[in-house]
Structure formats: C-alpha cells, structure tokens
C-alpha cells in the first residue's frame, strides 16, 4: 500500500513537470515549483537551423524572387599601340649596308584609346580617328591591355602634357630624344602601367651607336616629323 502510494506520488510529480515544461514552451507562467520549493526553470527558446539564419538588413529589403543588386565596377577601355614603319620597308633592306646592322623599321607610334588615335610630332599632340592620318593603316598593332581612366580624365591629362612635356607647338620635339615614341611610352604607362616594346624605344640608340648614325646626327636632329591628317590637340573646355 505504501509502495503504491509512493509510485502514485512520483507519477503525479512527473506529470506536473511535463505540464510545466509544456506551458513554459507556450509562453505560459505555470507558477509551479519543484520539490525544493524553487520555481522550475523554463527551457531556452529553440534556435533556428544553421541554414535559416536571420537575413541581413540589406537582404531583408530585397523582394522575394528578385536578384540582389550587383556591385558597380569601373568600366574598362581597351588601349592599343599602332606601329608604323616610316621607311616603308627600306630600313630593313638598306640598314645592313648603311649602318652595319639590321633595323626592321623606322618606327612611328600612336596610342588608341576611347575610339581615337593620339600621337605626338613636331606640331605637338594630335588626334584623329584610328588610322586616319596619311600614313594609312598601321604595320602592326600591340595590345597594351585596358584602363579604368575615363575619357574626361584622359583628355585633362593630355591637356597637362601639352602644357609641359609635349608642348602644343612641338618646340620640345627631337627626333632622337623626345619624339612620338617618347609620347606613346609616357601615355601607355599612365593608362595601363605598361611600357611600349623596347625595340621601338631603343631605335635611336641603335642608330647612334653606328659611325654612320653619328655622322648623320646633325642632319637628323633638324628633321621634324608630323604625320599629316591629325587635328592638333588643344583642350581646355574642348578639343580642336
């Protein structure tokens, strides 16, 4: 009889605990205490599954089914180097006889960016449509990569060059030391961080390293090259 009474008390206590836990999970304060007189502890609220984390504030604003906005990236503009042989093949044929070494060409170069061709000559910085000078199409094209420099910033940069290193009237032009290839190399590094090929920039030293080149230097220094067909670049609020 005593055993049955004890079992009944234990069953009642377990039932009471079960009801208390259920009430706590439902947000109801049962007011039930344990055997020691202390209130029974309420269970912790259930945690969301790992794959159901609360959305971030930015995600919460995206309508269901809509794609999140893509982060804007600067536009890239291709940069190319046009290479012209001013000798039209004669340097390749005659340089071994005249200089004692092989030269593949007498190079003129220009930079193609923002759908225009830019070059430097005795008339200063000029521009035209790609291949728009009387030199015609280039003999070769070198891909220099791409640039994030916008057209507006680039034209401002050219304007600053025209007032300093590559002045408008071309008085700083020198066939050996400050020519179209000097300009192309400078602009290429500004746009892409890359130099133009060394076989182009090394051409003056190749010529002057020969006795024939040294003998002709006074005459060659007086030569100024300005490919016809371009527009002289003078930009402050516009380009002409």
> 83 with 200: CB under 8 angstroms?
yes
The DSSP string of 184-238 is HHHHHHHHHS-PPPHHHHTHHHHHHTSHHHHHHHHHHHT-----TTPEE---SSS
Q: What is the mean pLDDT of each run of 10 residues along the chain (240 residues)?
A: 52 52 48 56 61 58 64 88 95 91 94 96 91 94 98 95 78 86 97 97 92 84 74 56
Task: Note the pLDDT of residue 136.
Answer: 93
Domains in the chain, CATH or no CATH each: 74-229 (3.90.1720.30)
DSSP code at position 51: G
Catalytic residue (one of 17, 18, 178, 180): 180
Catalytic residue (one of 18, 77, 108, 114): 108
Task: Note the pLDDT of residue 202.
Answer: 95
CA-only gyration radius of the chain, Å: 40
Task: Note the pLDDT of residue 238.
Answer: 44
CB < 8 Å & 24+ apart, contacts of 216-222: 217/176, 220/175, 220/176, 221/174, 221/175, 221/176
180 is catalytic: yes
Task: Note the pLDDT of residue 27.
Answer: 47
């Amino acid at each position: 009889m005593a055993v049955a009474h004890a079992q009944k008390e234990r069953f009642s206590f377990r039932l009471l605990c079960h009801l208390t836990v259920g009430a706590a999970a439902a947000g109801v304060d049962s007011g039930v205490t344990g055997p020691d007189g202390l209130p029974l502890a309420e269970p912790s609220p259930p945690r969301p599954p790992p794959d159901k984390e609360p959305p971030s504030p930015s995600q919460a604003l995206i309508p269901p089914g809509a794609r999140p906005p893509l982060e804007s990236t600067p536009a890239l503009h291709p940069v190319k180097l046009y290479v012209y042989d001013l000798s039209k093949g004669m340097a390749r044929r005659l340089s071994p006889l005249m200089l004692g070494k092989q030269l593949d060409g007498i190079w003129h170069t220009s930079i193609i960016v923002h759908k225009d061709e830019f070059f430097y000559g005795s008339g200063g910085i000029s521009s035209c449509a790609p291949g728009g000078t009387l030199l015609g199409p280039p003999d070769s094209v070198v891909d220099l990569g791409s640039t994030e420099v916008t057209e507006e910033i680039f034209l401002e940069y050219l304007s600053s060059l025209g007032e300093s290193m590559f002045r408008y009237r071309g008085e700083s032009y020198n066939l050996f030391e400050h020519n179209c290839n000097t300009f192309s190399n400078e602009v290429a590094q500004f746009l892409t961080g890359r130099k133009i090929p060394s076989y182009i920039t090394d051409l003056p030293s190749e010529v002057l390293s020969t006795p024939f080149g040294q003998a002709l230097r006074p005459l060659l220094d007086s030569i100024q090259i300005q490919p016809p067909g371009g527009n002289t670049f003078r930009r402050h609020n516009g380009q002409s």
